[in-house]
Amino acid sequence: MDPQDAVDLSREAMIIALFVSAPVLVAGMLVGLVIGLIQALTQIQEQTVAFVPKLAAMVIVMAWTLPWLLNRLMEYSEQLISDIPLYL
């Protein structure tokens, strides 16, 4: 395996990690933004108020996108395992 192959595998792993984590992180960010805006408008500065809605939204998005996430991870794993002889 030459260095370029290692760089390509690392880049592909980081892209897959980004795609897999993006839906949950975006949901948490959007809910946090809305809750922060509501807190700023109502002047309620309680930290625990934002935690529960963000956690609930992230769990819901994770449950909703779990089949897609698992499919992406399975495709990546199958490709990685099937390409092992090419790198040796």
Burial class (CB within 10 angstroms; exposed 0-12, middle 13-18, buried 19+) of 50:
middle
Number of folded domains that form the chain: 1
Tell me the residue range of the domain where 68 lies: 3-87
Q: What is the pLDDT of residues 2-26, one digit of tens each?
A: 888 888 889 999 999 999 999 999 9
| pLDDT value at residue 77 | 93
Residue type, 60: I
Q: What is the pLDDT of residues 29-69, one digit of tens each?
A: 999 999 999 988 988 878 778 889 999 999 999 999 999 99
Closest CA to 53 of 37, 32, 33, 39: 32
Whole-prediction pTM value?
A: 0.78
